[in-house]
Amino acid sequence: MLNIAIIGAGRIGHVHARTVAAHPQARLALVCDPFGDAAESLAAEYGARSCKEAEEVFNDPEIDAVIVGSPTPLHIPHLLAAAKAGKAVLCEKPIALDITDVEAAKDELDAITTPVMFGFNRRFDPSFAAVREAVAAGRIGELEQLTIISRDPAAPPVDYVKVSGGIFRDMTIHDFDTARFFLGDIVEVHAVGQNLDEAIKETGDFDAAVVTLRAASGAVATIVNNRHCASGYDQRLEASGRDGALFAENVRATTVRLSNAEVTDAQEPYLDFFLERYADAYRIELSAFIEAVEKGTPTPTTIADAVAALRIAEAATESARTGTVIRLG
Ligand SMILES: NC(=O)c1ccc[n+]([C@@H]2O[C@H](COP(=O)([O-])OP(=O)(O)OC[C@H]3O[C@@H](n4cnc5c(N)ncnc54)[C@H](O)[C@@H]3O)[C@@H](O)[C@H]2O)c1
């Protein structure tokens, strides 16, 4: 049984609190958030303690592991402090807003000896993971092209967008990690940004994008992102190989189809947004973290994965701004 503290009682803090509370090998012990009654009210939902200062989490001997769900600029400070206090860490993506912050902390990050995992939850989605396993088993021959579609039902508040680091660091970072999960090292990045939302345009960010990535193997990934999608949370993946293709489709609450005089094969909407669509992925991610901590085995996602995804995000940001292809490595 792992006693877990969550730092940051916002959107993702709520997702993790629910997942930890429901997990048979985990106990939600403490929730930390300095603002308002965010920590207190989330902790109260699950019978946990609450605090306002992250120091209290690091100094608490009861806490075995910390989930860092604070705003991105605090990820490195919280991750380092937790690790120095001997806690295992599951840290949300991205590792930082700027690669220079990672470079400044390189020695301290390299010196970490406690288990550290990053919240690239899509690796743990049962359908995406099954596609990858089928690719690895040779079911479609050599993987040539990967297509990832990720569209959100609605854009986050503009105040969130302003501090998010931009679409590539905040949103596409999941897809960059998925591309690496399938294809390994990425050597070339070409991104085209779109401004379809006036309010987001005013922040200087894009709200939609298409990115192509070339892997060292020669395989190519295409990522299609949009902060808005009229038909809901559109999350799909296609792997195409020499001998076939694999498709992971959108998920619905049931498989019921309606046909009548107006429609044929009408189905329920897609599961809405990340809590619902990736509920299984967050649960399996947490199980993988607990297993690595308890058995002392390597975590399935690492600081190196987080840094690699951030480097691709920075290259995509530069590519979209300059219209050039960026080579990595
Ligand atoms: N893996 C995923 O699916 C996923 C989904 C959403 C967000 N995220 C990531 O999680 C992080 C948080 O995003 P969010 O959408 O939950 O944001 P949010 O703004 O909803 O929540 C952040 C919370 O952190 C709190 N906070 C601020 N300063 C703090 C401090 N010093 N100590 C502790 N808590 C502090 C805020 O009060 C807020 O409650 C971001 O890095 C984001 O990229 C990941």
Domain count of the fold of the chain: 2
Residue 289 maps to a domain: no
- Greatest alpha-carbon pair distance for the chain in Å reads 66
Write down which residue in 56, 84, 114 finishes a domain.
114
Residue 54 maps to a domain: yes
- Please give the pLDDT value at position 329: 78
CATH of the domain at 83: 3.40.50.720
> Are 154 and 32 part of one and the same domain?
no
CATH of the domain at 187: 3.30.360.10
The amino acid at residue 270 is: Y
Q: Is the CB of 127 under 6 A from ligand 1?
A: no
Burial of 327 (0-12, 13-18, 19+ CB in 10 A): exposed
Q: How far is the CA of 144 from the centre of ligand 1 (A)?
A: 36
> Are 31 and 145 part of one and the same domain?
no
Nearest CA to ligand 1 atom 22: 10
Q: How far is the CA of 71 from the centre of ligand 1 (A)?
A: 4
Side-chain half-sphere exposure of 295, counting CA atoms within 13 A: 10
Query: Which stretches of the chain score pLDDT less than 70?
Result: none
What are the helix and strand counts (H, E) for the chain? 14, 15
- Please give the pLDDT value at position 14: 98
Residue 293 maps to a domain: no
- Please give the pLDDT value at position 276: 95
- Please give the pLDDT value at position 61: 98
How far, in Å, CA of 5 to CA of 210, rounded?
37
- Please give the pLDDT value at position 19: 98
Residue 286 maps to a domain: no
Q: How far is the CA of 16 from the centre of ligand 1 (A)?
A: 11
Q: 67 is in which domain, residue-wise?
A: 2-114
Q: Is the CB of 16 under 6 A from ligand 1?
A: no
Q: Is the CB of 92 under 6 A from ligand 1?
A: yes
Give the DSSP letter of residue 104.
Answer: H
Degrees (nearest 5) of the Cα angle 103, 106, 108? 145
- Please give the pLDDT value at position 293: 98
How far, in Å, CA of 142 to CA of 145, rounded?
9
- Please give the pLDDT value at position 323: 97
Residue 284 maps to a domain: no
- Please give the pLDDT value at position 226: 98
Q: Is the CB of 175 under 6 A from ligand 1?
A: no
> Are 109 and 53 part of one and the same domain?
yes
- Please give the pLDDT value at position 4: 98
Q: How far is the CA of 72 from the centre of ligand 1 (A)?
A: 7
